[in-house]
Structure 1
Amino acid sequence: MIEERYDVIVVGAGHAGCEAALAAARLGMKTIIFTVSVDSIALMPCNPNIGGTSKGHLVRELDALGGEMGHVIDKTFIQSRMLNESKGPAVHSLRAQADKQAYIAEMRRVLERNPQITIRQAEISTILTEDAVDKLGKRRCIGVKTVSGSHYYAGAVVLATGVYLNARCVFGEVSEETGPNGLKAATKLTASLLSLGIEMRRFKTGTPARVDGKTLDYSKMQEQKGDVPVVPFSFDTDPDTVQREQVSCWLTHTGSEVKRLIEENIDRSPLYNGSIQGTGPRYCPSIEDKVMKFPDKEGHQIFVEPEGLYTDEMYLGGMSSSLPEDVQYAVIHATPGLENAVIVRNAYAIEYDCIDARQLTASLAFKEIPALFAAGQINGSSGYEEAAAQGLVAGINAARLIQKKEPFVLDRSEAYIGVLIDDLVTKESHEPYRMMTSRSEYRLLLRQDNADLRLSERGYELGLVGEEKIQRLRLKRSGIEAERKRLMATHIGASAANNELLQKLNSTPLKTGISLAELIKRPELNYELIAPLDTERPELPHSVCEQVNIELKYEGYIRRQEQQVKQFKRLEHKLLPEDLDYESVGSLRLEAVQKLKALKPRSIGQASRISGVSPADISVLLVWLEANKHRTGGGI
């Protein structure tokens, strides 16, 4: 029997596993990362893009904290677009089409070049724990065992198993016990997790067919080109290095014939005939779900996207399905531009085991199994970006546990990552969780453009952000503040020349003097448009100008949200003891006692977000805290 010892073990080398391993290694931990196939490191088995609405925020925040995803996509994208630019800055989100193989190769290179990381191809069968329990009755995780019987010991273990646990791929009558893209499923680990008392559930996701791009009629589709200039994901990337030739994506629509085909064959869909038991994602439905749930809608958008420069394969975004092969062919061929499409890979649904993430703390550690963490789709989330964000946090906290440091936790007012994790560990979820801007109460503060200003100092304190990056950030911050003060102090008068320019910009002429800062607040104006009125304007980087414009234009709304955050923080800072006996707290309703005992919230704020805990119950807890000031919270 082989026995080896590391500081941190990461099980799974998808987007969560890669970020977890890199974070731990960069914090000085000797780390080993296991994968069922070394060729599937950072695999993108579904959509060929990184980012998108709210997901772009997560990638920017990852980058600001010292994560890797932003760097890799900047090197391997083939098209880039900023979404929602017609709306306010709170919902602007960057999305880049990836060259899948280039992305995989680049992320693998990053892992291999880190001297603290060992990559090992093996399936993990068992979580190893200490024989004895601690004073709280908990059994500590000490390592893992492979199917071949080898033992690997560590101070912390991160589970980032993705959709591989007891995975089953299904379309029509075909059912195969495999992971995505025909990769080997992990069939042993679920039993070990159940033996540790971990509550499991069954979720489902899916992916569309891929078609040969040479066989498509693009004249029947709408071309979608990339942005010029390109905005990079990483704050470290020189914008000049990402200005390159881009590949087009295409948009088509299904019609009445597709609707008819699906309606006539719906009884053959595993989603509707009972063959699939797992719960699918509400916000990424299959084409048959769209047709059946929106019967009044004649057609649906289909995004035809390249898989990369290495292949002619095109991804049919919006057409995920588990329909039988013959129905898939008919549906695809009934779609404009796809009439003669040659199918390279069938669409399929995939069922997999995952956990109820409410068993975790906000540090992504299991409450009842010290030194065991979980990140990514095993936690019931969906998406590459959500997985990577959790992986970073789990990797950081695995390292900090070994270093005997306090856990790193982001709250809902600090980052979309904080919203994501808080939702997962607090709120009951009956379907794969997808990040959306609407989930954030403070989205005007948590913009993708200011992620570095919000989080890079935290990354620097952790040890993941270097000196050069933090000095650039501080220079940027001081530049923003200086320019804001200059604009507030600079006034212009109601001269004929000034009013003539304002009229050309469809803005009301001046009657008295006004500061440039106040002028920027006008809805029809901005920092760039008033440049001719600002004769002493200094040369500043675009990133500084962007922040100055947003901070001045939305100043009133920003201040209002900052006040809301202060109120939120007051409840978040009221910590609840980990060992609090809720049954002994008088006047709590029975449902609240049950929910609070099960979840063990770290604070009054988290308790207030638990389904079944009412405002009256929160008042009872606040009274109890006031009467028991001598007690301190039990941490996270």
Structure 2
Amino acid sequence: MFQEYDVIVVGGGHAGCEAAYCAAKMGSKVLLATMNMNTIAQMSCNPAMGGVAKGQIVREIDALGGMSGIVSDKSMIQFRMLNMSKGPAMWSPRTQNDRMRFAEEWRLALERNPNVDFWQEMVTGLVVKNNKVTGIQTSLGLEIGAKAVVLTNGTFLNGLIHIGEKQFGGGRAGERSAKGITEQLVSLGFESGRMKTGTPPRVDGRSLDYSKMTEQEGDVNPGKFSFSDETKPLTQQRSCYITYTSEEVHDTLRKGFDRSPMFNGRIQGLGPRYCPSIEDKINRFAERNRHQIFVEPEGWDTVEVYVNGFSTSLPEDIQYEALKKIEGFENVKMFRPGYAIEYDFFQPTQLKNTLETKGVDNLYFAGQINGTTGYEEAACQGLMAGINAHNKINDKEPFILSRDEAYIGVLIDDLINKGTEEPYRMFTSRAEFRILLRQDNADLRLTDIGYNLGLADEKRVEEVNKKRTDLKHLLNDLNQKKVTPKEVNEVLTDMNSASLKEKQSLSQLIKRPELSIKKVKELTPVTNEYLDKYNDIILEQAEIQIKYDHYINKEKQMAEKMKNIETHRIPSAFDYDKLSALSAEGREKLKKISPETIGQASRISGVSPSDISILMVYLGK
């Protein structure tokens, strides 16, 4: 009935879709196995992509040739660039999306690839022979062969849903949990744990009074995620709205705390620190008399609304009573209550930096199975696992992104070296090279790499090369073109900028904090004409390069220093017990994770600088 596949991907969420898409586009014959074909690429939580640091990840996926950016663009109903009041390292694109169209666009993208087959059924186990995965087993007793398997099970492994005192098995509302895989992996020596996440109630937008809320419109000149011309910016957008809880809302919610699974001990898993439930916020931040609620439409044509900021597992009657006391929600109709879900995950320290497991060859983990949270974190892991599964079975070099190349590299490096005790979420603060890893230059950093992998097409490379050439010419022009005091002083004074005493290059003027490149265009007709031949994207790139040149160069130097120790390899069977000078914790962590390089060893939590010095001396480095 079944051929042997090159790669089988288990799970049709964000990680599974990217894994299947990338492996298939590179030439592997792929089977995507999912319990429900109708929920492929389901946005299980909020209908949005991107945000702080997450938007950078989506741009990186797009630059490499993945699909998350294009799918987000095709289904977006609003676009905003966050943190524009801060430096460019913090600028983060975010889309509000049509939930149904997002899933539809992903499914169409997969179905258009003849290398992708589908199978709807629960996968209950793996076929493992001689410490190597050779296929999957299904609930019907089928055995399907594969050269590599990527597990992207999301919240489905032994998923348990909590609503007040009620609990029932499920991987998502209305869907059953997956059984068998955790138990088999544990029997093979894998370390598993439990985590928790949650979702807010969904309500009927027709029952809300938006006049009592603050409207949050999209950007006046909206952008998009994808660097390609396959998608276009929006010409019209849907607004979100902001309202607040109150002391009355909090008092109502407190009435259900004695029935809360979070407070009475029924939930054992740790939840996301940076996306707490409303009851957790009330408990942890008792001094606050209100919390922000984002009212987010779920699509162009649906009345369903996502109540962002009101994630909860309290009893449904308490949820409804409290919602009605939020301003604008007085007559609210609830579609379904919020809930918490517990699920199994596996410590990511059990993975190589390709996301292949150390315990079983050709088996890859991606997404929430690795202890992460968020669509974007899952999608980029799926992309990396799909690429590496394809490369491994075709005897190609593993694909690894370093911490100075991409946020994706930071995420995977953090996971495999530090592990996680709570759902891992990406932040700009996690990246020490965040000025290099901006959302605006992801194409310049990664498109050539994606092309060499067989993901990004030739047209993408041509566009990036043109961008590089235009940027180089513009920077040269700005350095060469000088203006005199007579030409610009009057305008500079009007702009509250210091007058010139002698000729100065345009690039020197742009370095002034109060002058943007667009303001410099206004200095004289000459400068305006000089810069008009470049589009806004090139102008923005040039301004960032000029204003942050010192910091960019400093980070590049730091990255080069890191690479010097990154190249020093540690023998795979190195015996750390013979280094008696190592700290006890350092020895334990080094033995557990078995780092491949000194650079990787230096980033393991619990391994001290003195441990690294001892290791380097012993290895003659």
TM-score between the two structures when normalised by the length of structure 2 = 0.98
Match status 1:184 vs 2:176: yes
Q: CA deviation at 1:3?
A: 4.9
Task: Kindly tell me the number of residue pairs found equivalent between the two proteins.
Answer: 617
Q: Deviations over 1:506-534 (max 9, x none)?
A: 11010111111010000000111101331
Cross-structure match for 2:549: 555
Q: CA deviation at 1:4?
A: 3.3
Cross-structure match for 1:162: 154
**Which is worse superposed, 588-597 or 534-543?**
534-543
Cross-structure match for 1:34: 33
Give 1:343-362 correspondences, 5 Å limit: 343-362=334-353
Whether the 8 Å contact between 1:127 and 1:144 is mirrored in structure 2 is yes
Q: CA deviation at 1:590?
A: 2.2
Q: How many angstroms apart in 2 are the aligned matches of 1:353 and 1:161? A: 9
Cross-structure match for 1:407: 398
Cross-structure match for 1:630: none
Q: How many angstroms apart in 1 are the aligned matches of 2:300 and 2:436? A: 37
**Which is worse superposed, 560-569 or 335-344?**
560-569
- Partner of 1:163, secondary structure, is coil
Which of 265, 272, 276 aligns to 2:263? It is 272
Give 1:62-461 correspondences, 5 Å limit: 62-130=61-129, 132=130, 139-237=131-229, 241-461=232-452
Q: CA deviation at 1:309?
A: 2.0
Whether the 8 Å contact between 1:79 and 1:98 is mirrored in structure 2 is yes
Whether the 8 Å contact between 2:202 and 2:335 is mirrored in structure 1 is yes
Q: CA deviation at 1:129?
A: 1.1
Q: CA deviation at 1:242?
A: 2.2
Amino acid at match of 2:32: I
**Which is worse superposed, 372-381 or 566-575?**
566-575
Cross-structure match for 1:135: none
- Partner of 2:319, secondary structure, is helix
Q: Deviations over 1:579-612 (max 9, x none)?
A: 1111123421222111101001121111111121
Whether the 8 Å contact between 1:494 and 1:509 is mirrored in structure 2 is yes
Q: How many angstroms apart in 2 are the aligned matches of 1:197 and 1:571? A: 32
Q: How many angstroms apart in 1 are the aligned matches of 2:559 and 2:432? A: 9
Q: Deviations over 1:201-259 (max 9, x none)?
A: 100000000110000011110001111221110000367x3232111100000011122
- Partner of 2:331, secondary structure, is coil
Whether the 8 Å contact between 2:255 and 2:318 is mirrored in structure 1 is no
Q: CA deviation at 1:536?
A: 2.7
Whether the 8 Å contact between 1:49 and 1:97 is mirrored in structure 2 is yes
Q: Deviations over 1:538-596 (max 9, x none)?
A: 51122211110100011111111111111121122222122111112342122211110
- Partner of 1:180, secondary structure, is coil
Q: How many angstroms apart in 2 are the aligned matches of 1:615 and 1:371? A: 34
Q: How many angstroms apart in 2 are the aligned matches of 1:199 and 1:518? A: 56
Cross-structure match for 2:465: 474
Q: How many angstroms apart in 1 are the aligned matches of 2:582 and 2:20? A: 43
Which consecutive unaligned segments of at least 5 residues does structure 2 have?
none
Whether the 8 Å contact between 1:74 and 1:237 is mirrored in structure 2 is no
Match status 1:529 vs 2:519: yes
- Partner of 2:378, secondary structure, is helix
**Which is worse superposed, 82-91 or 573-582?**
573-582
Q: How many angstroms apart in 2 are the aligned matches of 1:66 and 1:332? A: 42
Amino acid at match of 2:197: T
- Partner of 1:548, secondary structure, is helix
Q: How many angstroms apart in 2 are the aligned matches of 1:423 and 1:264? A: 40
Q: CA deviation at 1:28?
A: 0.5
Whether the 8 Å contact between 1:4 and 1:151 is mirrored in structure 2 is no
Match status 1:568 vs 2:567: no
Q: Deviations over 1:18-43 (max 9, x none)?
A: 00001100110000011010001000
Identity of aligned residues (%): 48
Q: How many angstroms apart in 1 are the aligned matches of 2:516 and 2:119? A: 53
Whether the 8 Å contact between 1:101 and 1:310 is mirrored in structure 2 is no
Q: CA deviation at 1:625?
A: 1.9
Match status 1:582 vs 2:586: no
Cross-structure match for 1:634: none
- Partner of 2:461, secondary structure, is helix
Q: How many angstroms apart in 1 are the aligned matches of 2:429 and 2:530? A: 40
Q: Deviations over 1:98-151 (max 9, x none)?
A: 100011111001111100000110111111111x3xxxxxx1111111111111
Cross-structure match for 2:12: 13
Match status 1:620 vs 2:608: no
Whether the 8 Å contact between 2:69 and 2:226 is mirrored in structure 1 is yes
Whether the 8 Å contact between 1:209 and 1:345 is mirrored in structure 2 is yes
**Which is worse superposed, 397-406 or 184-193?**
184-193
Q: How many angstroms apart in 2 are the aligned matches of 1:37 and 1:231? A: 33
Amino acid at match of 2:283: M
Cross-structure match for 1:595: 589
Amino acid at match of 1:562: K
**Which is worse superposed, 33-42 or 497-506?**
497-506
Q: CA deviation at 1:263?
A: 3.0
Match status 1:606 vs 2:606: no
Whether the 8 Å contact between 2:19 and 2:387 is mirrored in structure 1 is yes
Which consecutive unaligned segments of at least 5 residues does structure 1 have?
133-138, 628-636
Q: How many angstroms apart in 2 are the aligned matches of 1:262 and 1:243? A: 39
**Which is worse superposed, 424-433 or 582-591?**
582-591
Q: Deviations over 1:18-72 (max 9, x none)?
A: 0000110011000001101000100001101011111100000000000001011
Q: Deviations over 1:390-409 (max 9, x none)?
A: 00000000000011011100
Amino acid at match of 2:173: N
Amino acid at match of 1:294: F
Q: How many angstroms apart in 2 are the aligned matches of 1:467 and 1:88? A: 32
**Which is worse superposed, 426-435 or 29-38?**
426-435
Q: How many angstroms apart in 2 are the aligned matches of 1:104 and 1:3? A: 27
